[in-house]
Structure 1
Amino acid sequence: MAGLPVPPLVDHHCHGVERSALSPASFESYLTESDAPAAPGTSFFDTQLGLAVRRWCAPLLDLPPHCPPQEYLRRRSELGAAEATRRLLSACGIAAFLVDTGIPGDLTGPAELAAAAGGGAVCHEVVRLESLAERVADGAGSRAEFLGGLADAVREGARDAVAFKSVAAYRYGLDFEPGPPGPAEVRAAADRWLVARAAGGRLADPVLLRHLLWSAAQTGRPLQLHTGFGDPDLRLHRCDPLLLTDFVRAVRPTGCTLVLLHGYPYHRNAGFLAHSFPHVYADMGLSLTHTGARAGAVLAEMLELTPFGKLLFSTDAYGLPELYVVGTALFRQALEGLLTGWVAEGAWSAADAERVAALVAADNARRVYGLDVPGAAAPGRSSPFG
């Protein structure tokens, strides 16, 4: 099997990138989930992700692979943020971007990402529930206005966006009560939180988080859930997707599709839930980006139990266009390496390998989100990863 054809990708969970130029320190901050400096005498280029940026992104900026970080950052500065973004995104072969717009900052919107990618790429919005609730609260003068406005905002989101997303894993953990809270519980929780919000508090009340999850589920739109590792705001042991088992069972009658994002180091647990429940899907996201040269091993573990029609590709890129390049490059390399090897061993047929590649790269996402996505895309620049 000479080269596995991986089709243009649907990036079903991603974020905007910085519009303005970045200092070296700001650039490096996007190479880690930590909020602390790198170890003395090192930088965040000294990580699997940092090495992957130098490997895959440098040639797109007319530099040799593995060039020194200082040389890479100098060249990026010479080109300017807009040109660097255009070069990097247009090399990724992404046909559709599903963009979580809930992170504040001077970040590109969905349409800007698609335009920079070129080749007829399309874009869709994913509504982050907690950010939605915080915006509604900021404009509400009472508990009744907040709850009524929140219900309207969720309905509007279901009409205009392709999915909802929750970061309850960050705000509380995944060990919440599985069932929907009662009206009295919701009213009492809203009263408590609106006082905290007036003082700048984020939405972390477990009753309101459950209310949001169930409100979104009842619209029938897919619901993305952060699981596994992230920045120090979360407690990793409370982000194991298996903690969602009772919620998964309880929400099934609504018809809502649950998409478990990232998962690492619990990605096998996410695969088990996707294997066991028809409305659960698993995603690779950060699991590949941050494991770099080990991405093939992690993807192999995800393919052990996850049904091939239940695994979705994403980059979870945020802030840097480089993260789109690394996410797509590592996915293509890992998938091609695994499937080509299995075909060579006689474990898979070439036809089955090509069919599974198409499912994971794009077709599963098209089906889950009801997308009308072009079947082929022509990146504006040739890609170094095929």
Structure 2
Amino acid sequence: MGEENLHGLRSLIQSHPIVDNHAHNLLSADNALNYEKYPLESITSEAKGEALQQAPHTLSHRLAVKQLATLFSCQPTWEAIKAARQTWVTADYHGLVQRCLDGTYSLLLDDLLTDSDIEDYRWHKQFIGAASGAKRIVRIEAVASKILLDFWGPQGQHKLRKDPQTFLSEFHKHIEQYLMEPNVVAFKSVICYRTGLDIKVNSSEAAFKESFQRLLRIGAPFRISDKSFNDLLVTTTLQIIEEMVAKHGKQRSKPIQFHTGLGDNDISLVLANPAYMQPLIAHFKNVDFVLLHSSYPYTREAGYLASVYPNVYLDLGEVFSMVSKDAEHSILRQSMELTPTSRLLWSTDGHFHPETYWLSNRQFRDTLETAKDVAADILFNNSNRLYDLKLLPPAYVPKPHEPDEKELSVTNNLENLNDLAVRNPNTAVWMQWVDYTATIRVRMFPIREFIKIVQGKRRIGITLAVYHLLQDDLLAPGGLATGQFYMRPDLSSFCRNVALESNSATVMTFWEDESGEQLEGCPRTTLQRIVTALKPIEVTLGFEIEVVFLQRAYINAKNTWEPITENHSWSNMTRDIRQKALRLLEEIMTALASIDIHIEQFHAESAPGQFEFVLPPDQPLSAIDTLLKARQTIVNVAEKYDLRATLYPRPYPDAAGTASHTHFSISPPTEEQSFLAGVLEHFPSITAFSLSQEVSYERVASGVWAGSEWIAWGTQNREVPIRKVTSGHWELKQIDGLANMYLAIAALLAAGYLGITHSLSLTHKDCPVDASTLSQTAREELGITNQIPKKLEESLVALENDDDMSAILGAGFVEKYIAVKRAEAKRLAEMAENERRTWLIERY
């Protein structure tokens, strides 16, 4: 590949042809749906039998489901994928294979994985880019088994028992023939499965004879798994290869591949470590060794061997689609710690089902973007050279538009969008942003128009009046109708709308100015800026969604809302809950799972009609995007039952309130004391965002499980505003669903950042009780001296006077935010209490 082709690195990685240096034959069309014999779950797991039933509960399987749903254009569930697959296999199996092998230019097949139900290696050529693109890899143990079977019988049995050298002579002849056969490019050993990689370089003749006799006593079918015999097969093959090199004066001959690392339960994982092979590699210097399957979990050991022995190559196959995304990135990093990039090869280890090829190639290409500049070598050049394929790659042409780093965050799913537009041209995309009143604002576009926006062919301008807009579209003081910002979609947040009679999806946006620069005051940009400032500290968030389900009622001829359950208590499954809420709750769980939001648990909370859904942890921006999507889905499902799901902070004065408890973690936790000191120091400013409505302060009380009334922290204490869970992991209790969560978390993390930057000492001690129950002296001994604000105005004044917080969040933004909150509070204060309650319930 010339240097002129490397400027479009991402396009290269996603488009460059592949030499798949190790794979297996596909099932014939008649067997492609025989899941009893060839379970489809095996595409993401090496497990077998009962253990394979656990595969759907792994991260690798969940990722595969999400990706296969795009291949089959179906819902992201295993059942939907199998149904769509059956239709495709039945109608056009060749078409499915072609789709899954797209981009593969040469395919090297170990075609001795099984001797039935599969297509011959030559059948695969029709799907490959190069005319000579399908080649064979010969498995030496299978060759040995065939020789024994050929000799086996009434006459051959006696002959073999007398003369084991007959076997060796035949084996020698077969290996020499394969060395001369053009369609064979390599050998392979599965000794790792049989007796392990601690292979003796010099086996005694007596030990081999004893081993040979043991095999014969067991009889056909021959599964060769006796150590002395297996070791001799390997060393004999290596000797023949070296002799061929010397005989023909070649520098190198055909390589030999070894299964290393993970496998099914037929393997000894300890003996699968390629480090055992070091003496063998050192002895046979003129033979090229390929260590298959990333040698996982011994990737570093394999990398060491490839770095110090010129005849060792490391294959990066099989693990892709078998492990989590984090593990894939880790394996690639470990493989490149020592291994020269000229010794790295790629394979899918695809077998039986064509989706094994498709998933592996897709996941490896995505992971390889972390090491772009070696992509062409790993994908193509190294294998082309090692196996002497003599392939001339097709001309590589970068895609017409090569995005820069700024554009990548927008265009990385453009191909999927184009596919969606073809499959479902009537899709509408809702571009969303959250204003300072926590109102979600929406603009809707047909999918084709949305693609133009993503490509930069259209810009969507929104009035800057948004900075001062109230829920009913009135402007707070200072608001003007002049100027505009532009919405830039963040495709990482793109998600289908579910539980709605709507063919649509949502995507969150960033705000940019006329020149395309990030705009101060954009909630998502503000949060992302603080997260970046905290680097190298990593922040993780997890949210608890508390919600009250209400039904419409008419009392004294007035419209109001009442809870759907009254016989109700915390973590209880009462008769009322079973009859009136259980079906609703389970439908919410199913709807969320259909868009890849997998709640960790859900249960009844304390107040009538109140329930909690716990979301998994994630990076800050993604976690909040997921939180908003999950809340909207809960609302959608509730509306199907003619119910209202509300986040209103205190629906009933005599019951517990409704929060949006937030778990936040920093890693490493080395600065946790200064971080926590900053949060406590600036806590009144944080509540201007986390308790953003006057009604939010009805939860600032003692004895209602809401964090009580004093600024404090405590280990596993739920009556302080900051509960410490473990080192570097806390829960913020003084936050509710009326907050703009991007801004609330930005303020929380900004306070922690200030604590670290100013090296604040943690003067608050661990509080073991509700601080309101302590005397003033006892509180002071714990360093607890300030109360949580009891009114919104107190929090706004604290923020107004907090120069450090204003500086890091943006002084202009803080001024606008305070103006909006004060105007909003004034507007709500003018309403009667019941009117205000209904008005807020119907909006939040």
Alignment TM-score, normalising by the size of structure 2: 0.40
- Which stretch of structure 1 is more off in the superposition, 150-159 or 122-131? 150-159
1:257 lines up with 2:266 in the alignment:
no
Could you tell me how far 1:71 is from its partner in structure 2? Answer: 0.9
Could you tell me how far 1:317 is from its partner in structure 2? Answer: 1.1
Task: Give, as a single letter, the amino acid of the residue that structure 2 aligns with 1:248.
Answer: I
Q: Residues 1-386 of structure 1: matches in 2 within 5 Å?
A: 3-6=10-13, 7-19=16-28, 20-24=31-35, 26-38=39-51, 44-63=55-74, 67-80=76-89, 83-84=92-93, 86-91=95-100, 92-104=102-114, 105-117=116-128, 120=131, 122-140=133-151, 141=156, 142=160, 143-160=164-181, 161-177=184-200, 179-196=201-218, 198-218=219-239, 219=241, 220-252=253-285, 255-262=286-293, 263-294=295-326, 295-336=328-369, 338-339=370-371, 353=373, 356-376=374-394
CA distance in 2, matches of 1:51, 1:373: 37
Instruction: Output one character per residue of 1:114-149: Cα deviation in whole Å (capped at 9) or x when no partner.
Output: 323467571110000111100000011223432222
CA distance in 1, matches of 2:235, 2:179: 13
Change (3 A) 1:118 1:4: closer
CA contact (8 A) 1:60 1:87 kept: no
CA contact (8 A) 2:107 2:128 kept: no
CA distance in 2, matches of 1:60, 1:28: 16
Change (3 A) 1:135 1:72: same
Structure of greater Rg: 2
Task: Give, as a single letter, the amino acid of the residue that structure 1 aligns with 2:288.
Answer: T
Task: Give, as a single letter, the amino acid of the residue that structure 2 aligns with 1:169.
Answer: C
Task: Give, as a single letter, the amino acid of the residue that structure 2 aligns with 1:167.
Answer: V
CA distance in 1, matches of 2:69, 2:350: 17
Task: Give, as a single letter, the amino acid of the residue that structure 2 aligns with 1:126.
Answer: I
Could you tell me how far 1:24 is from its partner in structure 2? Answer: 4.9
2:145 is paired with a residue whose SS is helix
Could you tell me how far 1:297 is from its partner in structure 2? Answer: 2.5
CA contact (8 A) 2:149 2:222 kept: no
CA distance in 1, matches of 2:54, 2:395: 36
Gaps of 5+ in 2: 1-6, 242-252, 397-414, 419-844
Change (3 A) 1:121 1:76: farther
User: Which is strand-richer, 1 or 2?
Assistant: 2
Change (3 A) 1:8 1:377: farther
CA distance in 2, matches of 1:377, 1:204: 47
CA contact (8 A) 1:53 1:322 kept: no
CA distance in 1, matches of 2:55, 2:236: 40
Could you tell me how far 1:108 is from its partner in structure 2? Answer: 2.2
Could you tell me how far 1:52 is from its partner in structure 2? Answer: 3.5
CA distance in 2, matches of 1:119, 1:385: 30
CA distance in 2, matches of 1:49, 1:364: 28
CA contact (8 A) 1:61 1:87 kept: no
CA contact (8 A) 2:274 2:302 kept: yes
CA distance in 2, matches of 1:169, 1:38: 21
CA distance in 1, matches of 2:395, 2:95: 16
Task: Give, as a single letter, the amino acid of the residue that structure 2 aligns with 1:155.
Answer: E
CA contact (8 A) 1:90 1:117 kept: no
Task: Give, as a single letter, the amino acid of the residue that structure 2 aligns with 1:174.
Answer: L
Change (3 A) 1:227 1:48: same
- Which stretch of structure 1 is more off in the superposition, 294-303 or 368-377? 368-377
Higher relative contact order (CA 8 A, sep 6+): 1
Task: Give, as a single letter, the amino acid of the residue that structure 1 aligns with 2:316.
Answer: M
Change (3 A) 1:82 1:216: farther
- Which stretch of structure 1 is more off in the superposition, 261-270 or 48-57? 48-57
Gaps of 5+ in 1: 341-352
- Which stretch of structure 1 is more off in the superposition, 201-210 or 302-311? 201-210
What is the percentage of aligned positions where both structures have the same residue? Answer: 28
CA contact (8 A) 1:16 1:108 kept: yes
Task: Give, as a single letter, the amino acid of the residue that structure 1 aligns with 2:50.
Answer: P
Could you tell me how far 1:181 is from its partner in structure 2? Answer: 2.5
Change (3 A) 1:85 1:182: farther
Task: Give, as a single letter, the amino acid of the residue that structure 1 aligns with 2:46.
Answer: E
CA contact (8 A) 2:69 2:77 kept: no
Change (3 A) 1:283 1:169: same
Task: Give, as a single letter, the amino acid of the residue that structure 2 aligns with 1:290.
Answer: M
How many corresponding residue pairs?
360
CA distance in 2, matches of 1:166, 1:204: 12
CA distance in 1, matches of 2:24, 2:351: 5
CA contact (8 A) 2:197 2:271 kept: yes
Instruction: Output one character per residue of 1:310-342: Cα deviation in whole Å (capped at 9) or x when no partner.
Output: 010001111211110111111111112x135xx
Task: Give, as a single letter, the amino acid of the residue that structure 2 aligns with 1:249.
Answer: A
CA contact (8 A) 1:97 1:110 kept: no
CA distance in 2, matches of 1:98, 1:49: 25
Instruction: Output one character per residue of 1:5-61: Cα deviation in whole Å (capped at 9) or x when no partner.
Output: 13201000000122223255522244321123258xx75233233234323333333
Give the equivalent residue in structure 1 for 2:700. Answer: none
Instruction: Output one character per residue of 1:127-174: Cα deviation in whole Å (capped at 9) or x when no partner.
Output: 001111000000112234322221111112222211110011110011
Instruction: Output one character per residue of 1:242-277: Cα deviation in whole Å (capped at 9) or x when no partner.
Output: 11111111121xx11000011011011111100011
CA contact (8 A) 1:100 1:127 kept: yes
Change (3 A) 1:268 1:85: farther
